[in-house]
Amino acid sequence: MLGHKKRVVCAVQRLEAARDAALRARGAVGRARPAAAYLPRLKQLSFKWQRGLKIGAGTFGKVYTVVNTESGQLLAMKELSIGAGDRRALQRAANELRVLEGVLHPHLVRYYGCELHREEMLIFMELCVEGSLEALVVTSGALDEQIVRRYTKQLLSAVHELHSKNIVHRDIKSGNIFLTNEGHCLKLGDFGCAVKIRANTTAPGELQGFVGTQAYMAPEVFMKSSGHGRAADVWSLGCVVTEMASGKRPFSEYDSNYQIMFVVGMGGRPEIPPDLSEEGRDFCHLCLTHEPDKRPRAAQLSTHHFLMVKNDDDCKCETAFLLPKSNEDSMQ
C-alpha cells in the first residue's frame, strides 16, 4: 500500500514538472529572482588607515581621527552604526557622500570615500583641527566684527557653491561649521541632511520634510504645507551671523524648541545685536526675511557691503586633498 502511494506521488510530481516546463517554454510563467541587497555605489578607499582618538559624537554617529598609514596624513572618520537590514540608515549615509560627488571648494569639508561593513559605514573626510565655530563662540563669546565679516563671506561662498550645484544643505549651524589654518579658514561640513534638488531655479516649496535644527530653521521648513528650497539655507546663514556677533545661540532666551517654532511662526526672528554695524544689521535682516520668495539668494548677498573684507590675506584657504604615498612605502 505504501509503495503504491509513493508511486502515485512521484507520478503527480512528474506531471507537474512537465506542465511547468511547457508553460515556461511558452513564456507563460517565469522564475522569480531574489532581490539583490541594497548596496549604494560609493567611492571606495584607496589607502590603508589606522584609527586614532574619538573627537566627537552626533545624532547619527561618532567621529575619530585616523592616520593614512601610507602617507602619514591625519584625517577624520565618521562611524555610522547601521542595523542589519536598515536600508533607511544606509541610504541616509550614502546620500551624504553622493550629494558631494564632484563638489570641491576651499570652504567645504572634503570627503574622500568610505568603507561599508556589516553594521556600520565608515566615512572618511578632511580633518579640521581647530574644531567647530560653535565651540569657538562658546569659549570666546561675541567675535570681533572683522572676524564675523570674514567668516560670513567664507560661509556664503560655500553656500553659493552648493546652490550652484543644485544642493541644499538644510542644516547650516555653528556646530556644522569647522575651522582650520589657525582659525583663519572656515569650512561647512556635515551633509547628512543635504539633498540634491531637481531644478536650476529656486523653488521655495520644492522640498518637503522637517529637517534641521530648530534654532536655525527657516519658518517655511516647519510649516510643512508650504515646503522649502534654497532660501532656507539663507535664513540659517543669518542665524549663524547673529550668533557670531552676539556670542549667543539664536533664541537662547527660550527653553524649548516648541517655543522657538511658535515665535518664528508668529513672525519672530533671532535678535540682531544692536552693536553690530549698520551694514551687518542690514545683512542679517535680508537673510532673516520671513517670506522665502523675498529672501535674497546667496549670489545676490555676495556683493553686500558687509562682506567687503579688507586684509584677508591670512586666509589661504585651499581645497583639501590626499597626500601621496611616502617614499618609504613606494619603495616596498
C-alpha 202/C-alpha 216 separation (Å) is: 20
- The whole-number pLDDT of residue 297 equals 95
Same domain, 140 and 251: yes
Cβ–Cβ contacts within 10 Å for residue 313, how many? 7
Active site residues: 171
112 within domain boundaries: yes
User: Which of these, 103, 124, 104, 122, lies nearest to 112 by C-alpha position?
Assistant: 124
CATH number at residue 187: 1.10.510.10
Domain holding 68: CATH number?
3.30.200.20
Distance, CA of 39 to CA of 18 (rounded, Å): 38
Residue 2 lies in a domain: no
Identify the pLDDT of residue 197: 39
pLDDT for 311 equals: 61
Average pLDDT, the chain: 79
Looking at residue 328, its pLDDT comes to 56
In a domain, 11, yes or no: no
Residues 145 and 289 in one domain: yes
Here the cell at position 113 is 570615500
Same domain, residue pair 139 and 232: yes
How confident is the model at residue 331, as a pLDDT?
46
Q: Are residues 98 and 193 in the same domain?
A: no
Q: Which domain holds residue 168?
A: 133-307
Cβ contact 170:194 at 8 Å: yes
Residue whose cell numbers read 540634491: 196
Is the Cβ–Cβ distance between 264 and 126 less than 8 Å?
no
Compute the residue count for the chain. 332
How many distinct structural domains can be found in the chain?
A: 2
Whether residues 155 and 270 fall in one domain? yes
- Residue 54 assigned to a binding site: no
Please indicate, yes or no, if residue 203 is contained in any of the structural domains: yes
**DSSP string covering 108-145, please?**
B--EEEEEE-SSEEEEEE---TT-BHHHHHHHH-SPPH
pLDDT for 281 equals: 97
Pairwise CA distance, residues 264 & 229, whole Å: 18
145 in the same domain as 80: no
- Are residue 284 and residue 216 in the same domain, yes or no? yes
Note whether 306 and 152 are within 8 A (CB): yes
255 and 267 in contact (C-beta within 8 Å)?
Answer: no
Q: Are residues 225 and 249 in the same domain?
A: yes
* DSSP code at position 228: B
Asked if residue 165 and residue 102 are part of one domain, the reply reads no
* CA 25 – CA 125 distance, rounded (Å): 54
Tell me the pairing of strands 61-68 and 74-81: antiparallel
**What pLDDT tens digit does each residue of the chain (332 aa) get?**
556 667 766 776 777 777 767 766 654 444 434 334 444 556 667 788 999 998 877 666 788 899 999 999 999 888 877 765 566 666 666 666 666 666 789 999 888 888 877 778 888 888 888 889 999 999 999 999 999 999 999 999 999 999 998 888 888 999 889 999 888 999 998 755 444 433 344 444 433 344 457 899 989 887 755 656 889 999 999 999 999 999 999 999 998 888 998 999 899 999 999 999 999 999 999 999 999 999 999 999 999 999 987 666 566 788 878 888 766 554 44
